[in-house]
């Protein structure tokens, strides 16, 4: 191995230092993408994806030079021998019934799941350290992840990237439904971007607009991918995604029109100079069907058609690297106007241990068409130890959302294209063939109110009641069960007792 490396070096040296900088393509690349989808309910969803790919094996080589890939995350991967890392921070809930299937849904609150390498000996310890480090990087309370809310799913959460074996003992999954997401989490997330929020699509990431939405979800996905088509070596991929849903009803006064400026209060002026690809996709599928009720301005130069989530979609594509797009108008402000208002299964159950681990119920079921499946879990409300109550016990206690992962048969067969070339929003989940697509849905977290003692004056009430009951019960029981009789007090004191002692010693009956 060492000899081979030396040989490569030698060849490179022979090629000469002049060629060094230009000839070898940079080993990392950045693609950025924004997808704007008008939702069936009239709201507008915007999904940002920033993908940094690095052709280097982080774990084998002692990497110290970072260019586009954030150093904080790179070091994390090598230190904790991570194979995959998925972290999402979400505020709000994706309403599938009204908004359709999401590209990528996340549960409300914080969700973290990670696969560790086979070489890790103490997975739990690494997991604990990892969550603490991530807590610092993203300013989130991920340090509250401990054994009581961590599970090891056996059927779901397979690795999304390149994987040799799937031994589930190296997987950890945790959700914190109470986590509140705000600008303090967005800022560190933006700092991981190569262009930060200075240029490219990321200028649109203005916190006050992003948190003025119905749904806000930001995520970080790290996974190994194939470096080339034959998959001879491994590259690392970092995807930063951010999805927001703008409430068209409030902002648009009932109209469905939108523009980039109205949504983000910014327009796109220049691409990120570090990006190799920078595109805006606008879903214009309905324009062909609804008798041209929809008009996109400026008119797109190209369109893109593909089968997305089982249906055929058409997207207008704006390539920011294409000089024509930006130079004609100095800034790109995409607008859209509506001319007219428009059975055999697998069940894995791992019971909880009090204060040690949570319940885990996994079911693999085949759902019949047009049916409603109800999974109900019976539970008992119990009193906690009094130090275990949160400061706001009457708010209730959260039960993490349940997760539904499904491989849904596609209505229209998709043609298997080049994975590396397809848009980012279409390449998050690995697809085996075109006949089905993968979705993962989450339910709402559940708020359960447990029996709560009155914390305002626990001692008064508990102590007084117990005392009164004890005293009364004891005394009344005594009075009711005993009979009292008067006994004449014995005559004679010390002298008589002494005399009796002497008489006993003498063997004479006492007085």
Residues near another protein (CB under 8 A) are: 91-93, 95, 97-98, 108-109, 177, 211-216, 247, 249-250, 254, 372, 376, 392-396, 398, 401, 444-449, 452, 456, 471, 475, 478-479, 484-486
β-strands 44-54, 311-319 pairing? unpaired
Between the alpha carbon of residue 469 and those of residues 183, 460, 464, the distances in Å are 54, 14, 8
d(C-alpha 359, C-alpha 149), whole Å: 9
Contact 188, 137 (CB under 8 A): yes
- The two tokens of residue 358 are 């949570």
d(C-alpha 75, C-alpha 82), whole Å: 10
Q: How far is the CB of 360 from another protein (least distance, A)?
A: 21
Q: How far is the CB of 358 from another protein (least distance, A)?
A: 18
Residue tagged 């004056």 (tokens): 457
Q: How far is the CB of 75 from another protein (least distance, A)?
A: 33
Evaluated on CA atoms 51, 315, 211, 448, the torsion sign reads: negative
Q: How far is the CB of 144 from another protein (least distance, A)?
A: 18
Residue among 364 and 448 whose Cβ is closer to another protein: 448
Q: How far is the CB of 201 from another protein (least distance, A)?
A: 22
Between the alpha carbon of residue 415 and those of residues 306, 367, 431, 432, the distances in Å are 8, 26, 11, 11
Q: Dihedrals φ, ψ of 431, to 5°? A: -115, 130
Q: How far is the CB of 108 from another protein (least distance, A)?
A: 3
Between the alpha carbon of residue 182 and those of residues 190, 207, 250, 286, the distances in Å are 13, 9, 21, 34
Q: How far is the CB of 100 from another protein (least distance, A)?
A: 14
> Percent helix, strand, coil in the chain (nearest 5)?
25, 25, 45
Asked if the bond preceding 298 is cis, omega within 30° of 0, the reply is yes
Decide: residue 268, CB within 10 A, 0-12 exposed, 13-18 middle, 19+ buried.
Answer: buried
Q: How far is the CB of 5 from another protein (least distance, A)?
A: 52
Residue among 421 and 487 whose Cβ is closer to another protein: 487
Residue among 17 and 451 whose Cβ is closer to another protein: 451
Q: How far is the CB of 249 from another protein (least distance, A)?
A: 4
Q: How far is the CB of 429 from another protein (least distance, A)?
A: 23
| Strands of 289-435, DSSP E | 294-297, 302-308, 311-319, 335-338, 346-350, 360-364, 397-399, 403-409
Residue among 94 and 236 whose Cβ is closer to another protein: 94
- Of 223, 148, 213, the C-alpha closest to 181 is 213
Q: What letter does residue 332 receive in the DSSP assignment?
A: B
Contact 113, 246 (CB under 8 A): no
Residue among 302 and 449 whose Cβ is closer to another protein: 449
3: which strand partners?
Answer: none
Residue among 199 and 205 whose Cβ is closer to another protein: 205
């Amino acid at each position: 191995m060492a000899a081979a490396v030396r040989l490569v070096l030698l060849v490179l040296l022979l090629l000469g230092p002049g060629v060094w900088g230009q000839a070898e393509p940079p080993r990392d690349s950045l693609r950025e993408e924004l997808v704007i989808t008008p939702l069936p309910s009239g709201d507008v969803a915007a999904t940002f994806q920033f993908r940094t790919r690095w052709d280097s094996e982080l774990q084998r080589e002692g990497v110290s030079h970072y260019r586009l890939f954030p150093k904080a995350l790179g070091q994390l991967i090598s230190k904790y021998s991570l194979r995959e890392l998925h972290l999402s921070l979400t505020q709000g809930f994706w309403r599938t019934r009204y908004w359709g299937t999401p590209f990528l849904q996340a549960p409300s609150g914080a969700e973290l799941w990670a696969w560790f390498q086979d070489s890790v000996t103490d997975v739990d310890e690494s997991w604990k350290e990892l969550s603490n480090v991530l807590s610092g990087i993203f300013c989130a309370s991920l340090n509250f992840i401990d054994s009581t809310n961590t599970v090891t799913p056996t059927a779901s959460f397979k690795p999304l990237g390149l994987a040799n074996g799937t031994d589930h003992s190296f997987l950890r999954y945790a959700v914190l439904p109470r986590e509140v997401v705000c600008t303090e989490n967005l800022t560190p997330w933006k700092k991981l971007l190569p262009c930060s929020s200075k240029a490219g699509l990321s200028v649109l990431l203005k916190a006050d607009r992003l948190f003025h939405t119905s749904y806000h979800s930001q995520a970080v996905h790290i996974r190994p991918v194939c470096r080339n088509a034959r998959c001879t070596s491994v590259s690392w991929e970092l995807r930063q995604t951010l999805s927001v849903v703008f409430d068209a009803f409030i902002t648009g006064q009932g109209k469905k029109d939108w523009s980039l400026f109205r949504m983000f209060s910014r327009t796109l002026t220049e691409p990120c100079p570090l990006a190799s690809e920078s595109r805006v996709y606008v879903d214009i599928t309905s324009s062909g069907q609804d008798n041209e009720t929809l008009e996109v301005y400026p008119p797109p130069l190209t369109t893109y058609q593909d089968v997305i989530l089982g249906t055929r979609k058409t997207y207008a594509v704006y390539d920011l690297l294409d000089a024509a797009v930006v130079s004609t108008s100095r800034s790109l402000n995409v607008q859209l106007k509506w001319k007219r208002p428009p059975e055999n299964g697998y069940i894995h159950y791992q019971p909880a241990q009090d204060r040690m681990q949570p319940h885990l119920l996994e079911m693999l079921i085949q759902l019949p068409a047009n049916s409603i499946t109800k999974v109900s879990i019976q539970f008992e409300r119990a009193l906690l130890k009094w130090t275990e109550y949160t400061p706001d016990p009457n708010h209730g206690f959260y039960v993490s959302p349940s997760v539904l992962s499904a491989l849904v048969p596609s209505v229209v067969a998709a043609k298997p294209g080049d994975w590396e070339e397809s848009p980012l929003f279409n390449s998050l989940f690995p697809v085996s063939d075109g006949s089905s697509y993968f979705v993962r849905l989450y339910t709402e977290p559940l708020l359960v109110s447990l029996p709560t003692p009155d914390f305002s004056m626990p001692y008064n009430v508990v102590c007084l009641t117990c005392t009164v009951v004890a005293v009364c019960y004891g005394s009344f029981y005594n009075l009711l069960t005993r009979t009292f009789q008067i006994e004449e007090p014995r005559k004679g004191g010390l002298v008589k007792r002494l005399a009796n002692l002497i008489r006993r010693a003498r063997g004479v009956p006492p007085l």
